[in-house]
Structures are given as structure tokens and as C-alpha cells.
Amino acid sequence: QVQLVESGGGLVQAGGSLRLSCAASGLSFNNYAMGWFRQAPGKERKFVAAIRRSGGSTYYADSVKGRFTISRDNAKNTVYLQMNSLKPEDTAVYYCATRGGSSDYYYYLSKAAGMDYWGKGTLVTVSS
């Protein structure tokens, strides 16, 4: 079955950096778009970033543009989220998600309901 396993979360001071990784198995990775979402305590899960199957297009939430970078290594079945200039408001559980098929456009990838499979999440805490 499809499994997504996130890693790389932790505690960091404001202004610092973290790199999250998500290792995928049980799927043909090249045929799946990948995304990151986050959920702060008491709030709904929100889109952070996504990358299309080919890796040629990426999408970002306005709140992270210019600070976060999503990338993928199809040889390693892994997607990454490089997070720089972290702020306390970035504190959340970060989830990796994937969507199969050819409809890997922003309309679908930016919505939690548009994703097919989810990881269990990794906690990122940014202290002020």
C-alpha cells in the first residue's frame, strides 16, 4: 500500500531553517504529484506547497513564498521542503500528501480534498 513518511521536523529559533523530507513507497512515484500541508493547533489543515509529477512546476501559499522551496528526487522517491527564515507562525504539524493521475494542477493540489494519500505528519516548532 502507499506509504508516506515525513522526517526532519523539530524545534528551531525564529529566522532559522529546517528541511523536511517525505519518503514515498508503494506507488509509481513519477506518476504522482506531491504536496505539503500544515495544521496548527486548533486550526484547519492548510496548503503550503506542491510540485507536479515532472517537477517542472511548483506552487506555494502566499505565506511561504520566497522562504520555502519544494523539490523532488524521483530516483529516491522523496520530496523535500526547505524552510528558511522561519517564523513562529510557521509552527504546525507538517503533512506530506500525494495525488495521482494527470490532473496535477494547482486547483487540485492546493486543496486537502484533492490529495489521495497522506503521511502522519512531523511537528515543526519555531520559537520566538
Residues of the chain with pLDDT under 70: none
pLDDT of residue 85: 98
pLDDT of residue 112: 93
pLDDT of residue 102: 84
* 69-104 residue pLDDT tens: 999 999 999 999 999 999 999 999 999 999 998 888
State the burial class of residue 59 (Cβ atoms within 10 Å of its Cβ: 0-12, 13-18, 19+).
buried
pLDDT of residue 55: 82
pLDDT of residue 67: 98
